[in-house]
Structure 1
């Protein structure tokens, strides 16, 4: 902790640490309100994991769903969240629901920000659920509209991991469109500045209030004062092996989807040094990960064939579960990581969505996929019991023939059916019976941690006594999510990050108005 500084290198009204969707929404709210705002991003590129994402945004009851006829409402979302979460954290639920439409209206008031509803089911069969979902996405952003600013936005995960930038002939889509649109709006206010390669390392406290930050750059340490407040929205700690081990977080820093060099928990550490309290540090936004030849993992979702087995050669879950739920099944018992996705030649490739996309030849050459002409041969090459694997596949095929998964009920839920392509009585159950057979290594990945700084409903960071730390705010994965161990629907990480960043900035405005 830095108690005071003799001089400041810069004075602004609001400092935002991080540049994901929540950070950029909060920065835009501050700058559009006339506050001098600086976004500090540790890495050379903006967007973090948000830029890699499909950019689904779960903000119920907004003008987007109403405009596009999604059938959504604040009341149905309340019913759904209450059914999942109960009354725990009900004040956060109510504030989130009340603020969500206001956030969307604010964002779309800037011509640079445009959204549309996209069908994608909510993740739990509970009252209030929408089978076609209530989330929305940004509209495609043409390269010519964003211009040179595109170079600041993190490119798609496959190009980023290969050290490549954006395809100059392609528009920005999904997460890149979201970050690009928010960046356009932010810089267009005339009150916003972005600094990449600037890592917040410490918070400055004067007379009990956080008044600024120290940050490391290639040119050395800089000290920036924030007259209104500091918003920490710099992601979680998924890339830090030590913090993961300390808090018993399943998975691995190597398998997370967070960009390399990001999300090491630096902002969270800086806040704890000034007395901030933590919550839900053992929680993450989980997903199955396809082990990739470079030692990373690819986000797996949308299974439309195959089956997943553990070290015993047996299935342990409905493979079509929403990805967070499948990830949690993987973490429940030893021997489930790594698992293997077993499929056959009828798939014509991986029977699932992989981000980045899987190149079979590369996986086969690296040994992350195994190919064999028979199931016993496949089992031998995987080190699995041949009898168990063969029996598992035969049992699964009998389920496909009958149309009923007697073990795990695959295909009975709207989410399962959303991705189904099979031609049999249950389109989510496709036989695995056409050699050659394949097995792809599956690990436990995550889209980020969801534990972090404890905050109130205005995004104010709390100390161990539950008292706000003056001048300090947090949102997104730098804060503890009010959804606890649940992932209600596509885009709730981004939606909640936006809402509480927006509320944090509004509190800064009100506090000193």
Structure 2
């Protein structure tokens, strides 16, 4: 027998929220744990995310007075996810999720969330849906508490010009020119910026706050994290996973996992060959907002063990605008503002622009036709929208960067017909689309796609308008940017059970192997019930896997 270079009870692959939660839970339950991270930064896609978690009936919702129940949550999951996912796994999420949130609240000093009032479930009108939302987000965190370790954290580098804001605050700041609460919230954020300048305070929000809180908790629990350590292969004995080979700083190391290996390695968004093999076409790794390094490294080795896979043709869809040579802009709030519409290559609307982002991407693929392509689509807005709302990370009234106009990423026209000429579509068709849209917008009723009828549609809209997400596109000049079917991660992967155990194709578990997050087939199936329905399950089943291992005999 070759000797081990290192030995732990639990070895976790991947350092996002799911992986850190798994390793932290293992330590808190008395097991030794190691996180191995392929890149030289910890945090994964979780660091780049909004940081919210969607876990129905959790302690923070209870404290906020939200009257959620298991019955309501089950009704909603059944209405949205349906029977695409086994009932035992759905129920495990709804029972163990609140348990995970409470456990981390009670057993750490730092993992803290607060309710986001009004951030609607994505299908609030469905049975059990909540128009006021179920999501909670991490409290703003001072990165200075991490000491030098903060230099190893993946940063989102959002274009906010030094201003740090959480999701609830952004929702208000987006209306800085329209509401008093927008102005008041902006002042609060400005004071936070001044504090950071003059006191050394290093605030982080969203996914950075979540990862910072989890990493500090793991540091205090004495859990290890190895960066620049890439998974290579499993070590097995008698059909059971007993450890793994990894390449650490160019050297192969053997790491024993006495209780088990927990995979939290993310999906395959950055692997163009795997995208071509599994995802709908067209597809491009340049469209993803997932963290670098997510190339599906654990997939081939797991298939060699006989692991089953599912949902490989699905992504966590994220309609995106990708300037040449730059990172994608994930269009979330941008699609909820008024004075804006999205058209296909023939100059026609084909979707409610404000629908949940994964549904938008699904519709892009479903409606894509040679004579009316939707990949790319075109997001069109007028100068009034540009003056009033945040768009592509630019504050109200801030001009588009000159390079975007010069390289053709942003098209500009004084009339709808002129804009159509810039894009390369029929001027008469686009002009007719403008005219119909504006007639409906004047009345505040979208007869074609019902934009603004759902509470979710209205969340990012303008509350001063009759229909918060609908207003005419009438003030020249007009702008258009291409929109592609991007993603925040792939959602297909290894099939797991209610204990997060990786299952073979025959349904039996592979001993010693567990998975959570985007390397596993999503518990949300083909849909996306609410803000944080990616991170919530990743953390929950990381907690479930570590708890299961803690209960087993060595």
Residue in structure 2 matching 1:435, options 476, 488, 494:
476
Where 2:39 maps in the other structure, the secondary structure is coil
| Superposition misfits of 4+ residues, deviation over 6 angstroms | 355-359
Query: Is the aligned partner of 1:313 residue 2:351?
Result: no
Is 1:264 matched with 2:295? yes
Report the counterpart of residue 328 of structure 1 in structure 2. 362
Superposition deviation, residue 33 in structure 1: 1.2
In structure 2, stretches of 5+ residues that fail to align are 160-195
SS of the aligned residue for 1:203 comes to: strand
Query: 215-224 vs 338-347, which deviates more?
Result: 215-224
Q: Which residue number in structure 1 is paired with residue 15 of structure 2? A: 19
- Are 1:372 and 1:438, in contact at CA under 8 Å, matched by a contact in 2? yes
1:174 to 203, 206, 214: 206
CA displacement 1:370-391 (0-9 Å, x = unmatched)? 1111111110110011111111
1:343 touches 1:351 (CA, 8 Å); kept in 2? no
| RMSD over equivalenced CA pairs, Å | 2.0
State the alpha-carbon separation in 1 of the partners of residues 150 and 547 from structure 2. 29
Give the drift of 1:169. Answer: 5.6
Residues 368-377 or 245-254, more deviating: 245-254
Aligned to 1:104: 101
How many angstroms does 1:479 deviate by? 0.3
Cα separation, partners in 2 of 1:127 and 1:139, compared to 1, 3 Å: same
Name the SS for the 1:348 alignment partner: helix
The residue aligned with 1:341 is 379
Change (3 A) 1:40 1:33: same
Map residues 1-400 of structure 1 onto 2, 5 A cutoff. 6-88=2-84, 89-109=86-106, 110-119=108-117, 120-124=119-123, 125-158=125-158, 170-190=202-222, 192-250=223-281, 251-260=283-292, 262-302=293-333, 303-305=336-338, 306-334=340-368, 335-348=373-386, 354=392, 360-361=400-401, 362-400=403-441
- 1:144/1:422 CA distance change after superposition, 3 Å: closer
Q: Alpha-carbon deviations, 1:340-382, whole Å to 9, x = none?
A: 1111100126956546989711422331111111111110110
Measured in 1, the distance between the counterparts of 2:201 and 2:431 equals 48
Give distance in 2, aligned partners of 1:54 and 1:292.
22
Q: Aligned pair 1:495/2:528, yes or no?
A: no
CA contact (8 A) 1:301 1:323 kept: yes
Q: Residues 87 and 443 (structure 1 numbering): CA distance in 2 closer, same or farther, change over 3 Å?
A: closer
The residue matched to 1:313 in structure 2 has which SS? coil
Question: Residue 106 of structure 1: CA displacement?
Answer: 1.0
Q: Which runs of 5+ in 1 are unaligned?
A: 160-165
Q: Secondary structure at the match of 1:428?
A: coil
8 Å CA contact 1:401–1:424 kept in 2: the answer is no
Say if 2:466 is the partner of 1:469. Answer: no
Describe the superposition over 1:120-141 as per-residue Cα deviations: whole angstroms up to 9, x where unpaired.
Answer: 1100120111111111011111
Q: Does residue 481 of the first structure (1) align with residue 481 of the second (2)?
A: no
Which of 408, 411, 414 is equivalent to 2:449? 408
Q: Is the 1:16–1:232 contact (alpha carbons within 8 Å) kept by the matching residues of 2?
A: yes
Q: Which residue of 2 aligns with 1:162?
A: none
Counterpart Cα distance in 2 of 1:422 and 1:291: 29
Shift, 1:424, TM fit = 4.3
SS of residue in 2 equivalent to 1:325? helix
TM-score (norm 1): 0.94
CA distance in 2, matches of 1:458, 1:230: 13
- Deviation string, structure 1 residues 281-338 (Cα, Å, up to 9, x no partner): 0011102101223253211012202000111100110001111111111111321011
Aligned-partner Cα distance in 1 for 2:157–2:237: 41
Provide closer, same or farther for how the CA distance between residues 336 and 349 of structure 1 changes in structure 2, counting only shifts above 3 A: farther
Q: Which residue of 2 aligns with 1:452?
A: 493
Q: Contact 2:29–2:547 (CA<8 Å) still a contact in 1?
A: no
Q: How many residues align?
A: 502
